[in-house]
């Protein structure tokens, strides 16, 4: 179905989960907000929530709209027997932070909260700044780079690997494993691609299970040691599958979403030279620019919920066990909350009202770290580089379809080195 058909045909002619919508959702999301902000898809039975008020309300009420969707996702449809066989080589999947609810959710989150406090994150600023300069030094003389691979993904992946306490020499492994988890989340992988992702995830499990065992006898100042030796409210220690689940979430959430925001931020500067000029004239606008990037990029575009009881969202009834998708990317462009919502406005007064990190008890645990990485990355980039321009046709920019996450695959750019700081 063409883009024109998606926007003009009856809503029921497609589904919000179609690859075409997932790759470029904004126009379709705007249509949903106008015509059916709470929409039961006749093809899937899923209720899609697109406007700010209802997305925020569903996210807030975890007791009615549960995050325990993990089992439903794992049991969906027939599973390729090759995948079941490959999974036997690793550890079983368990529900921890993202796919749990209070009070159990609080226990798991409490194991790693300390690593993401504002005070701890503030101490990382010099390290993040040094890393950004080091990465720019590697490509500045060329006057061009593939920005995602050369900078955007390396900042958050390096930071989270360092915080976990694993050697940066294994960077390529971490990236490969993170990509495998994203492939699973995409719900778009072919059977062969899903099988390959499972095999890579088993590799990840074996690698980090060995690191966990090392930290039992040789604890260090890192998140892996914190998890191994944590005793939250004097309860039992976590078992290996639980610890692997937590590390997996930190590895992916601490990497993919920030990567996509850094890349989208530079693309927004390229497309909005007037806003770039405002930031150059007043660097204090960088923090608000970060909030606008979070709002417009919304790298966690959508998230699942499952109804624990019969409930209503607006005028739409949801049965017990019914699947709900809250669409953060749509809520962040809701015209009733954000004036001229598709426009980058670095002076927007309510930019920080965005829901990019979620809302309620499941608000992203790494939000403060992500904001720090984004603020520092944008500041250093604007200090060092100027005159950003695409180094490829616009048509080459691709957002791989993914049910939950959204971000650029590549961003080739040209630039000039700045001769003086901002």
The reported pLDDT for the residue numbered 77 is 58
Query: What is the widest separation between alpha-carbon atoms in the chain?
Result: 63
Place of tokens 């300390």: 114
Partners of residue 192 on adjacent β-strands: none
Say which residue the tokens 């909030």 belong to: 291
Q: How many residues make up the chain in this entry?
A: 422
Which pLDDT score, from 0 to 100, does residue 76 have?
Answer: 57
Residues above pLDDT 90, as percent of the chain: 78
pLDDT at position 5: 73
Please give the model's pTM, rounded to 2 decimal places: 0.94
Higher pLDDT, 276 or 419: 276
pLDDT tens digits along 217-262: 999 999 999 999 987 667 788 899 999 999 999 988 778 999 999 9
Alpha carbon separation from 274 to 269, 270, 281, 282, 352 (Å, rounded): 8, 10, 11, 13, 21
Query: What's CA 82's distance to the chain center, in Å?
Result: 29
Residue ranges per domain, the chain? 3-417
Binned at pLDDT 50, 70 and 90, residue 422 comes out as very low
Beta strands in 352-405 (DSSP E): 385-390
The sign of the CA dihedral 59, 62, 64, 65 is positive
Distances (CA, A) of 325 to 278, 295, 328, 338, 412: 37, 18, 9, 21, 33
- CATH number for the 3-417 domain, one of 1.10.630.10, 3.20.10.10, 1.10.240.10, 3.40.50.920? 1.10.630.10
Partners of 416 in the beta sheet? 386
Give the pLDDT mean for 52-77.
Answer: 86
**pLDDT band at residue 1 under the 50/70/90 scheme:** low
Phi, psi of 304 (to 5 degrees): -90, 150
User: Which uninterrupted H or E stretch holds 227?
Assistant: helix 223-229
Q: For 10-29, how does the pLDDT look when each residue is reduced to its tens digit (9 = 90+)? A: 898 889 999 989 988 999 99
Q: Are 100 and 109 in contact (CB under 8 A)?
A: no
pLDDT of residue 306: 96
What is the dihedral sign for C-alpha 7, 342, 146, 416? Answer: positive
Instruction: Kindly state the tokens that stand for 274.
Output: 């007037």
Which whole-number Å values give the CA distances from 76 to 18, 41, 49, 70, 419, in the listed order?
17, 17, 21, 10, 56
């Amino acid at each position: 179905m063409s883009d024109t058909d998606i926007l003009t045909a009856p809503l029921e002619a497609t589904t919000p989960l179609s690859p075409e919508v997932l790759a470029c959702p904004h126009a379709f999301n705007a249509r949903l907000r106008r015509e059916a902000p709470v929409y039961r898809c006749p093809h899937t039975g899923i209720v899609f929530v697109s406007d700010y008020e209802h997305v925020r309300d569903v996210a807030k009420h975890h007791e009615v709209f549960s995050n325990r969707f993990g089992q439903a996702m794992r049991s969906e449809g027939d599973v390729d027997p090759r995948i079941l066989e490959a999974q036997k080589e690793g550890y079983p999947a368990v529900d921890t932070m993202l796919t749990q609810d209070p009070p159990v959710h609080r226990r798991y989150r409490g194991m790693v909260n300390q690593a993401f406090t504002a005070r701890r994150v503030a101490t990382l600023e010099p390290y993040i700044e040094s890393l950004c300069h080091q990465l720019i030094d590697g490509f500045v003389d060329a006057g061009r780079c593939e920005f995602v691979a050369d900078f955007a993904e390396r900042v958050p992946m390096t930071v989270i690997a360092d915080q976990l306490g694993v050697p940066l020499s294994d960077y390529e492994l971490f990236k490969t494993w993170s990509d495998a988890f994203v492939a699973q989340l995409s719900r778009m992988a072919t059977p062969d691609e899903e099988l390959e992702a499972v095999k890579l995830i088993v590799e990840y499990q074996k690698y980090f299970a060995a690191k966990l065992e090392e930290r039992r006898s040789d604890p260090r100042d890192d998140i892996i040691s914190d998890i191994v030796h944590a005793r939250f409210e004097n309860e039992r220690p976590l078992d290996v599958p639980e610890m692997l689940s937590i590390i997996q979430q930190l590895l992916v959430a601490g990497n993919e979403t920030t990567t996509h925001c850094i890349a989208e931020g530079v693309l927004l500067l390229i497309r909005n030279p007037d806003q770039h000029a405002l930031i150059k004239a007043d660097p204090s606008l960088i923090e608000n620019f970060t909030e606008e990037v979070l709002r417009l990029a919304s790298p966690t575009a959508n998230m699942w919920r499952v109804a624990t009881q019969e409930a209503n969202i607006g005028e739409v009834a949801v049965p017990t066990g019914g699947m709900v998708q809250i669409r953060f990317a749509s809520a962040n462009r809701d015209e009733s909350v954000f004036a001229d919502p598709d426009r980058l406005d670095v002076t927007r007064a309510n930019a920080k009202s965005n829901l990019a990190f979620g809302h309620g008890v499941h608000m992203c645990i790494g939000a403060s770290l992500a904001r720090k990485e984004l603020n520092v990355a944008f500041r250093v980039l604007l200090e060092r580089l100027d005159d950003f321009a695409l180094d490829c046709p616009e048509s080459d920019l691709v957002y791989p379809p993914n049910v939950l996450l959204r971000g650029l695959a590549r961003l080739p750019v040209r630039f000039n080195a700045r001769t003086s700081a901002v």
